Structure 1
Amino acid sequence: MAPPPLGVNGIEISELGEGSDHGREQNCGGEEAMKRLEKLRICDGDEVGISEELITDNDRRQDDEVLALEAIYQDNIVILDHQEGLRSFQIFVHCEVPDGITVSAKFHSAGTSNIKGMQTEAEVASSSSYDEGFLYSFKVTYLPPIILTIVLPKSYPSHHSPYFTISTQWLDKSRILSLCAMLDTIWRDQPGQEVVFQWTEWLHGSALSHLGFAEEVALWGPNDNMVLTDYRAISENVVPERVIPFLMGYNEKKCHEAFLSNIHQCLICFSEYLGSEFIKLPCQHIFCSNCMETYSKMHVKEGSVTKLSCPTSKCGAHVPPVVLKRLLGDQDYERWESLLLQRTLDSMSDVVYCPRCETACLEDSKTNDAQCSKCLFSFCTLCNDRRHVGEKCMDAEARLRILQERMQPGGARTNEQLRKEKELINELLSVKEALKDAKQCPSCKMAISRTEGCNKMVCSNCDQFFCYKCNKAIDGYDHFRQECELFPSEEINRWEAQMNARQVVAQVRAELFAGHANHPCPNCGQRNAKEGNNNHLFCWACQTHYCALCHKVVRRSSEHFSRKGCKQHTSDP
C-alpha cells in the first residue's frame, strides 16, 4: 500500500481531523446549552393558548427555515436531537476578519512569568510596558467560532422568538450578554418573522465591531468581574493565560488547513499543486513532495548528506529528520543516518578508528594514544600499532620501509598477516603519492591539492580554512598579514604574464582618472574610466565588456547600443 501524501512539515492529511472541531465543541458545550434552554422554556410556558392550526403553520415555516440554513451554512450547522418534538440545532458562526486582527491582553507583574513561555509559540507583534503591568499582543487570521445554540418553540415565528444560548471560549460573559441583547433587539424589530438567518449574519459580520473589536480584540474589559446570571451567556473562566494559547493553537491549525486546500507553486519545478502535495520546511520555504523526494535521494546517493538542506539559495536551513524519513524510505534513511554520522566523525579532529575492528575512538591529543571501547585494543594513533609508552613513534616513511623489508621472502607469517601488511603498504604508498602535490587538512587530515589561486584553502569535508603554505588552521586573512603571503610568487608571475598592453594602459588610466572611474565592472567590481564619450567600457581586470550607463554586460555592441537600448556616446563622465 502506498504511503499517504505528505502535508505541511510531514503531517498526514488523515491526521488533520478535518471537521472535528465542531464535534468537539458540540460535546463540550451542547449538553450545557440544552440544559439551560430547557430551563428557559419551562419558565416561559410559550405554548399556552396557541391553536393547532397556528402550530401547524409554524411547524411548516420552521421546517423551511432549517432546510435553508442547512443549505447556506452546510458544515457549520449541526442538527441536534429533537427535545419533546422541538427542533434544535447549533450554528458555528465565524467572525469575519479578512485582513487578520490583533489580540492583546494586559498582564500585571505577577503574571509576567506565565507569558514568557508563550512567546516561543508565535511571533509577538508588540510588547509595551505600562505602570500596572504590560501589554502582550499578537496577530491572528482566524478566530474561534461563536456557537449559537437554538431551540425553536411551537409558537415561533408567529408569537415567540427562538430560545438561544451563545457560548465561546475566548469572550467573557459580559460581552456575550451584549450579543444576546442585540439578538433580542433584532427580534423586536421584526416580530412574527424568521430571524435565525439575520442573527447569524449579524454575528458573522458585526459582532466584533459591536463589541469595539474592529481593529483589536482586547482580552480584558471594565465588566470582567461583574456577577451575571443570564442563562443564555455561556462562558468559562476566561483568563489570558488560558485564552492566548488557545487562540494561537486554533489560528495555527486553521492556517494549516487553509494551506492544504489552496494552490501553491513549487520553488523547484514551478508547477502548481494543492498544499497537501507540498512540504513546508521550518524556514517556511515550500516545495512539492516529488521534487523534495528526488532532491533528498540524490544527495543520499551521492553521499553529500551535509549539503542536504533547504534547496533555496542562501537559506541553508536543515530538512527535519521526520520529513526525510517519509521522503527517503527505510533503506535510504538508514544510509542517510550512517553517512551523516560518518561525516560528523570525520570532521572531528580527535576521532580515530580502531585498526582491528574499525570502531570510532577518541584520541588523547597529548599522548597520541586511544583505546577501543569495543575490543579494548590500546593503540598508537600515529602508526596504528600497539601502544608504545615512552618510545618515539616512527613516521610514515620509516614504517613503510620496515613493512617493505618484512615482505621479503623467508618470513614466518600467516597468509592473513601477509594480506593485512600488503593492504597497509598500499595505503601508505597511496598517502605518500597523494601528499606529493597536496597538503592534509589540519582538522580531518583529508588530502587537498591547490591548482591555482591564493594560499587560503577550505576543506570540502569539514569546511576548515587553512594556509596551504604552512598548513595551519586559520580564520579570515589576518594570518597572511603577519606570517605567510596570500599569493605565491609563481601565481603572481603567471597573472602578470597574462596582462596584455591594453590592460596595463586601462589600469593606468583608471588610476590617473580616479575621480572619473565611477563605473564598476558588473563581473569583478573593478572600477574603470570612460574613454571620451564612449559608454562601451572594457574592464582591464577581467576583460569584460559592459555599458557605463546601465552597468550590464555587453554581448553584442550593435544590439545593446541601439534605438531601444542605451546610447553609446554621451557627455557624462
Structure 2
Amino acid sequence: MAFEEQENELLALQSIFGSEDFIRHESKSAGEIRVSVELPSEYKVALREGGTLKQYKISFLPTLLLTFELPENYPYSSPPDFTLCCSWLTQKQLADLGTHLTELYNASRGDVVLFSWVQFLREDTIRFLNITSMLELSNEPSTSFSSQGTMDVEPSEQENSQTTGYSHPRSLSDDKNEARDPLNEHNPFSGLSLTPSQTLLSKILIHDAAQEQKVFQSTVYDCAVCFISYLGSECIKIQECGHVFCRSCLAEYCKVQITEGNVRGVTCAQEGCTALPAQAQVQSLVGEELFKRYDRLLLQSTLDRMSDVIYCPRTSCASPVIIEKDGNVALCSICGFAFCTSCKKAYHGTNDCELLNSHPENDSEQSIADLPRSLEGMKALWEDYASGSKQRRRLLESRYGGKGRFPKLEDYLSGGWIALNSKNCPYCSCKIEKNGGCNIVTCSQCDRHFCWICLTVLSGRTYQHFQSSECYLYL
C-alpha cells in the first residue's frame, strides 16, 4: 500500500514539473527537485565590502535543490529522507528550513508531502526566513547539517563549492553537491582572486540575467514600429528604456541610419526616445560590415565633439591629435607633422596667423607674386580656371607659375570664405554656417542650441534670451 502511494506521488510530480526541474531515480523511490524561490518586486541582493553595502536589484535567485528518498513506511510513519542544498543561504537559515519541512510532515502524518514541501520552499522561503526585501551575502563557509550533528565540509570541497547543505539522516549519493549545482558550471570568474561572497554574487547576477533573458524570449510583445505581435526570441529590447521592437524593424532602422552616416541617430526607434541600444545588439542587427562602419563613424563623431581634439591637416594622414592646453602648436603622433592649431598650417612660432592677413604669395616653397592681390581678383582667377577648358587651364598654369598654384589658391579662398561666413559652436567648436531662419541655431554636430549673434548657450525657454538681451530673434 505504501509503495502504491509513493508511486502515485512520483508520477504526479513528473506530470507537474518539467524534466529540468524534476529528476526521478528509477532504481528506487528517490529523486531531486529544483525549486525557484519567488521574490517580491524590487528585491535586492547586497554585499558588504569594508564599510559600504553594495546593493543589486534582481528578479531571480539560484534554485534550491531538494534531494529525497522515500523509506518503505512513507508516508504512514516516516518522513522522506532528504537533503536540502542552496548556495545563497547560511547554514542556520538552511537548517531552519530543513527543520520546518520535517514539522510540515509531522503536522500531516500519513499524507504525501513532497508537493507541499515544494510549494512552501517556492512561495514562503523568503517570508519564513524574514529576508523579504534584501538578501545580504556572507562569507560563511559551506557546511552540512544532519539530525545527528554538524559536520564541516572538507577544505578541498569548501574551496570548490558555495553550496550549503542540510541533511535529514541519509545521503542519496556520494556525489559532491557542487557537481549538481548549476552555479558551479561555466564560472567565468574561475581563477580570479575573489572572496567566497564575491564569487557567489557574480554567480547570482549571471543566473538572474540568464533567467531574465529566458522569460523575455518566451513572452509575446507588440513591436513598437509595425505593431505586430512576436515572441521575445524574435525581438530586441533596449535595456536603457525598455522599449521592444521586432528584429526586422529595428535592423532596418539601424541600417538606414548607418548607411546615411547618421550614427548618432542609431537610437531607440520609439519617437522621442534617445536611449541607445547596446553595441552587441547593433552588431547582431546590421552585420559585420555595416557595424565596422558604425564603429568607425561613432569614434570619429565622438572625437569631433571633444574640444581638445583636432585632426592632422595633412590629407594623407588626418589622424586625431590632442591639443595641449598651453600654446598653439600640435604634433601629430602618426606622421610627426607639427602645425598651428589656429590656421592648420606648418607651425610658425608665435607669429600672427590670422587667415585673412595671410596671402598665397607668402608661400615659401615658390614665389607666386604675379597672382592678384585683392580677394575679388583671386576669386575671378579661380572661377576662370575652374570653368575653363583644358587649353585655358594650361595657359593660366603657365602664366601663374604651374598647376600646383591653383589648389593652393582654392584652399586659401575656401579658408577665407569659411572664416568670413561661419562661427564656432560654443559647445564643440565646430564651424557652423547659418543658412537662414531665426537666430536660434542648432549645431549639426552636437545638436545643441545657441544664439547666432552673441554665441550664448541656450537651454530651457530659448526665446527668453531675446527678451532680456540686445540680441534679436529675426533679422
Q: TM-score w.r.t. structure 1 length?
A: 0.56
Residue type matched to 1:78 in 2? I
Hey, what's the Cα distance between the residues in 2 that align with 1:404 and 1:329? 56
1:405 correspondence with 2:368: no
The Cα shift of 1:283 comes to 1.3
Question: Compared with structure 1, are the counterparts of its residues 302 and 424 closer, same or farther at alpha carbon in structure 2 (3 Å cutoff)?
Answer: farther
Instruction: Report SS of the residue matched to 1:279.
Output: strand
The Cα shift of 1:236 comes to 2.6
Q: Write out per-residue CA displacement over residues 126-178 of structure 1, whole angstroms, 9 at most, x where no aligned residue.
A: xxxxxxxxxxxxxx544443322111334445664432222323444444444
The Cα shift of 1:487 comes to 1.0
Q: Write out per-residue CA displacement over residues 394-413 of structure 1, whole angstroms, 9 at most, x where no aligned residue.
A: 63475357588296525664
Instruction: Report SS of the residue matched to 1:425.
Output: helix
Taking the TM superposition and a 5 Å limit, the aligned residue runs for 1:59-458 are: 59=3, 61-74=5-18, 75-80=20-25, 82=27, 86-96=28-38, 100=41, 113=50, 115-116=52-53, 118-119=54-55, 121-122=56-57, 141-157=59-75, 160-188=78-106, 194-205=112-123, 211=128, 213=130, 229-230=146-147, 236=164, 250-288=207-245, 289-349=247-307, 350-355=309-314, 357-360=316-319, 361-362=321-322, 368-381=328-341, 384-389=344-349, 391-393=351-353, 395-396=355-356, 398-399=358-359, 405=371, 409-410=398-399, 413=402, 418=403, 420-430=404-414, 438-442=421-425, 444-454=429-439, 456-458=440-442
Residue type matched to 2:331 in 1? Q
> Could you tell me whether the CA contact under 8 Å between 2:339 and 2:347 is conserved in 1?
yes
Number of the residue aligned with 2:172:
none
Structure 1 residue runs of 5 or longer lacking an equivalent are 1-56, 123-139, 221-226, 492-573
The Cα shift of 1:187 comes to 4.3
Residue type matched to 1:67 in 2? L
Instruction: Report SS of the residue matched to 1:78.
Output: strand
Structure 2 residue runs of 5 or longer lacking an equivalent are 138-143, 152-162, 167-195, 362-367, 373-395
The Cα shift of 1:425 comes to 2.9
Hey, what's the Cα distance between the residues in 1 that align with 2:122 and 2:208? 17
Residue type matched to 2:22 in 1? I
**Larger Rg computed on CA atoms:** 1
The Cα shift of 1:344 comes to 3.1
Question: For the aligned residues, what is the CA RMSD?
Answer: 4.4
Q: Write out per-residue CA displacement over residues 521-545 of structure 1, whole angstroms, 9 at most, x where no aligned residue.
A: xxxxxxxxxxxxxxxxxxxxxxxxx
Q: Write out per-residue CA displacement over residues 281-326 of structure 1, whole angstroms, 9 at most, x where no aligned residue.
A: 3413233222221222111111121232333455433333222222
Point out the more displaced range, 295-304 or 275-284.
275-284
Hey, what's the Cα distance between the residues in 1 that align with 2:45 and 2:445? 50
Question: Compared with structure 1, are the counterparts of its residues 142 and 422 closer, same or farther at alpha carbon in structure 2 (3 Å cutoff)?
Answer: same
The Cα shift of 1:253 comes to 3.7
Number of the residue aligned with 1:530:
none
The Cα shift of 1:258 comes to 1.5
Question: Compared with structure 1, are the counterparts of its residues 242 and 100 closer, same or farther at alpha carbon in structure 2 (3 Å cutoff)?
Answer: farther
Taking the TM superposition and a 5 Å limit, the aligned residue runs for 1:475-490 are: 485-487=470-472
Instruction: Report SS of the residue matched to 1:68.
Output: helix
Residue type matched to 2:410 in 1? N
Hey, what's the Cα distance between the residues in 2 that align with 1:317 and 1:165? 47
Hey, what's the Cα distance between the residues in 2 that align with 1:341 and 1:212? 51
> Could you tell me whether the CA contact under 8 Å between 2:64 and 2:84 is conserved in 1?
yes
Question: Compared with structure 1, are the counterparts of its residues 447 and 423 closer, same or farther at alpha carbon in structure 2 (3 Å cutoff)?
Answer: farther
Instruction: Report SS of the residue matched to 1:409.
Output: helix
The Cα shift of 1:459 comes to 1.9
Instruction: Report SS of the residue matched to 1:405.
Output: coil
Question: Compared with structure 1, are the counterparts of its residues 458 and 365 closer, same or farther at alpha carbon in structure 2 (3 Å cutoff)?
Answer: farther
Question: Compared with structure 1, are the counterparts of its residues 336 and 141 closer, same or farther at alpha carbon in structure 2 (3 Å cutoff)?
Answer: closer
Taking the TM superposition and a 5 Å limit, the aligned residue runs for 1:9-24 are: none
Hey, what's the Cα distance between the residues in 1 that align with 2:419 and 2:284? 42
> Could you tell me whether the CA contact under 8 Å between 2:23 and 2:31 is conserved in 1?
yes
Number of the residue aligned with 1:3:
none
Instruction: Report SS of the residue matched to 1:336.
Output: helix
Question: Compared with structure 1, are the counterparts of its residues 339 and 193 closer, same or farther at alpha carbon in structure 2 (3 Å cutoff)?
Answer: closer
Q: Write out per-residue CA displacement over residues 487-515 of structure 1, whole angstroms, 9 at most, x where no aligned residue.
A: 16x74xxxxxxxxxxxxxxxxxxxxxxxx
1:459 to 443, 446, 455: 443
Hey, what's the Cα distance between the residues in 2 that align with 1:346 and 1:403? 37
The Cα shift of 1:112 comes to 6.2
Residue type matched to 1:405 in 2? L
The Cα shift of 1:448 comes to 1.1
RCO greater where, 1 or 2, for CA within 8 Å and sep 6 or more? 1
> Could you tell me whether the CA contact under 8 Å between 1:261 and 1:276 is conserved in 2?
yes
Hey, what's the Cα distance between the residues in 2 that align with 1:267 and 1:237? 47
> Could you tell me whether the CA contact under 8 Å between 1:352 and 1:381 is conserved in 2?
no
The Cα shift of 1:460 comes to 1.4
> Could you tell me whether the CA contact under 8 Å between 1:441 and 1:448 is conserved in 2?
no
Hey, what's the Cα distance between the residues in 1 that align with 2:330 and 2:36? 67
